[in-house]
Structure 1
Amino acid sequence: MEYLFSYGTLRERKIQLAIFKRLLPMRKDEALGFILSTQKAYGKYLLVQKSDNPKAVLPGAILEVTPQDLIQADRYEGPEYQRILVPLKSGKQAWLYIAK
């Protein structure tokens, strides 16, 4: 099992059903060393950025995903985002989408 960290739309029921055709197991967590950006993708979608503050945390949720789920999520996020592996407050590591 892999983990995907979401700080935005991937936490929404309707989005999960549209992309993955099911609801994903999800629980709250925080990504370490990241913050919300003041910029938005396409003028409306949240973006995150690496923080200069090593104590910065980004609240969100971790989703339990399969490799096929990650492929579906990559398609959903599109070419403006890239997926990177980041540490979480829980001690797990998860994939996180950031702007390219």
Structure 2
Amino acid sequence: MAEVLLFSYGTLQDPAVQQANFGRLLTGTPDGLTGFVIGEIEITDAEVIAESGLTHHLILHPSDGPTETIPGTVFRLTDAELAAADVYEAEDYRRVLAPLTSGLEAWVYIAA
């Protein structure tokens, strides 16, 4: 089974969201990401709100200027779990590969 890396800075770190989307709790490692600024977005999908318990989620935007390190967790997922994460993140986000402060490269969801 192939594994892919996913960096989460928001609700995918929440155990309830992991159970709802992957049917299990994920094991992760703390890491960081630079080159982006963090903001918030209003969530309108009732299922996503029910899973996260939040009406606003964090969202990243690329930055041309200096940025601070955004803390988060890097998870090892299967391809099927990554596809489930794509469904959860919906149309407000897009998935890109990005280098982490640890030197790893992982998928991360940023503003669409």
- The amino acid across from 1:34 in the alignment is F
Give 5+ residue unaligned stretches, structure 2.
44-54
Please tell me whether Structure 1 or Structure 2 has the larger radius of gyration of its CA atoms.
2
Tell me the TM-score normalized by structure 1.
0.89
Aligned-residue RMSD, C-alpha: 1.5
**What residue number does 2:85 align with?**
73
Residue in structure 2 matched with residue 22 of structure 1 by the alignment: 24
Q: Which has the higher strand share?
A: 1
User: How far off its partner does 1:51 sit?
Assistant: 2.1
TM-score for the superposition, normalised by structure 2: 0.80
Task: State the 1:55 CA deviation.
Answer: 5.4
Spell out structure 1 runs of 4+ moving beyond 3 A: 53-56
Identity %: 40
Structure 2: distance between partners of 1:90 and 1:77: 24
The corresponding residue for 1:40 is 41
What is the CA distance between 1:9 and its match in structure 2? Answer: 0.4
Counterpart of 2:8? Answer: 6
Aligned residues: 99
CA contact (8 A) 2:32 2:73 kept: yes
